[in-house]
Amino acid sequence: MRRAIALLDDAGENLAAARLQAAIDTAESVSPMKPSDELPEV
């Protein structure tokens, strides 16, 4: 993934690189659900 960000930066795709970085940061900060966990009410 870090390589993909570097490639996007090199290609001048700064917005795409920022969005990819944000997605990576979000995925790293969210803990996985356990079998007993329930989805929150919307």
Grouped pLDDT means (10 residues each) for the chain, 42 residues: 81 88 84 83 78
CB neighbours of residue 9 within 10 Å? 14
Question: What pLDDT is recorded for position 4?
Answer: 83
Assigned domain for 42 exists:
no
Assigned domain for 41 exists:
no
Q: Which domain holds residue 16?
A: 1-27
Assigned domain for 3 exists:
yes
Assigned domain for 37 exists:
no
Question: What pLDDT is recorded for position 23?
Answer: 87
Question: What pLDDT is recorded for position 1?
Answer: 67
Assigned domain for 33 exists:
no
Question: What pLDDT is recorded for position 17?
Answer: 86
Assigned domain for 38 exists:
no
Question: What pLDDT is recorded for position 5?
Answer: 80
- Pinpoint the alpha helices (H) of the chain: 2-10, 14-29
Assigned domain for 39 exists:
no
Assigned domain for 21 exists:
yes
Number of structural domains in the chain: 1
